[in-house]
Chain A
């Protein structure tokens, strides 16, 4: 492997930001020459000893076909008794909020991107993470947002204007009771208002993970942002579900139901929420683990949830969200490694990308992400999977002879 020294890593970092974004955008297409394959009459002859494996004895001898035998392909179409709920995030001015547009997710009638069967009703969307206090970030992420780390409103604006965020996730980490001076529900609500004013995309509001404090904050935030159709992240089984659900319902928001990689718990939480909130106001998150750190579990739980929902399980028919940023918990994403593993400025974002793509194929509708290049790639792929483009045989017909 080529050794990448400090200097090169630095260079790779500079190359990567922001040039690779342009590079990822600007494919030039090389027209492959349409080479005719010469097929002469073939004569087969053996030199004794040249061929090791003896010709296979065919029994019984068959009449070898001389032309292609037609065996048409039948599309293996299935129908499903169930459908995933459609959930609208963000409310526009006419609809009680102040957002520039609403985003609808879900509505699937087939497994993810089985477009031979049904079109993807709404392309999955991506929300950028913004934190309300300084948090430890991987170097590869930090370099893109270093100027706005202490200003969530500016951070949100940068993510929308420069990186094309469909949505913003505002993580209210500062409310954590473990902090020396945790911010109050009132202070947190103020931050939410600031971000609402800075950008006009739909918002996700994240708590700190403490079920009591989160609920206090959510009650305040849902009230001050009345009608905005925020996605409240997250409602958990150990929370006072009734109180949380009522606040969300009363003020016109959406619940993000989080469970730890357990379909029964996912069902249980949805069941509880259904007592208070209609289906079109619930999104579910069954937990995302990083590539190499349990992604297989996360993938399979999501795939099973989606298939079960389509097969008619009413408790698993909610659109799915993924905290894809968890990919950065993998050491391979952020750590410096031996030179043969390349600069972490590339390793980190490809880690987030592969984690996201794997879950995209399991059926995730909403991704919470961090790195601009990972987001750009995911958007391109979603476009490729939902667009009208076709696989042009001509373009790859001669891949064998292409000189790379």
Chain B
């Protein structure tokens, strides 16, 4: 119904603008146009056969995904919008097959907003706190859209209190989830509401999120109580006092079923026992001009949560579609290709793997710290323009657990398994890294960035290999750009990854030239130059060349080359991708 109303509304406005007489048409059309914001994005790939990898085996070689988004301000209070999407003839390689229409209406909304109240009907995106309890979002590069369809009301009783209530079903391709999501979030700026704590700022947030989804037992004789409604509660506090700040968030999630992955691709659940989840996150930092430091601690236990239980099977849903909350890996995010080979992926869920004795993955615990320092201009190390330094460290481990499985046998976990976790135990190390980044400007024309990374990656556990394989690696990157003026510039980037483990050493580089600020071309290559057991990477050039043209808010980019198989990470979310070779075209414009 909402859908029809919105579409009618749009069509009516357009038709109306053409039915006016000429004199009025201009001014009406002008105002219509001024109140309409449009964006269009197109990503197309043409997969080619490869002399090294062999032929591309899927049927559709040429694929295109397209997004057209329209937002219209009807009046000062009312606005409406929609997003049309096209996946023709199907979604890009490695992206979710849920997005399966050649052309369709993906999202739409009608919004009424004043200073006091903000109501949205239709699809909306929302985040409570840091998203650990609830986040619906869109990332086109990853092919994720978890918008909710329903209603959201945000009410501001005063300038410093915000209350959000929502109900919805999550987007599932061009359909919506079976499960219903309810949520309430309150955010109170305590320092201004009660006029206390001058010179500092204290904000309290409280949330509730519920998911209602029925479950049909596979065996009626099981007497355990399987909850339809799974509840999560959270509390968070943000405190800032001039240069110092800290923030803490706690979440408790009620009992839910455990995924049973005896056969990885088949979704089934262990119905005898249900398990709770929880999360704790804490940050503290201090900063002043030229210096900043921050520390983060996070512990997640059984926090993977979906608006349809069946989607918790990671084999079938590697892109985390229909995820209720957002549980990204907290480690430094890199831009350089070789720094993106061994990347930590967060381990928030409960998975039990069947070996001789069961491997219980119940969650993760770890920490992350950053130091930023700006060496002053004119000093010995600072030179004429100053030097910017960033040191960053992270350490992550899986939760230490004890289990009891009275009816289990080697290689087969029973449905009666229960486990206990230790609260603070960092011994099951999964990943650690140390990153140093130095940015230095040498002259008006020349700038450089040097990056050093030392990392440890537990491949066996992170990629479920069960072979005790680990990777210790060093990565060095030198990146320099020379500006010739009038937008002309040349960038050279050299990379090396050194390790005796896994696929061994890599080298890589990029050369990029901008003819002016609009038009640029680049070539880059990554080459794994030592023999190793990883045949798919050994002595193959992952060579790419491409270019881009930008004019205002319009950008066109083209790339031809070979992509490495493995993990593709964008915005902290990683997913496995298969290697491919081909031509990629991107076009985006907004007006």
To the question of whether A and B form a pair in one complex, the answer is no
Q: Contact residues of B with A, CB < 8 Å? A: none
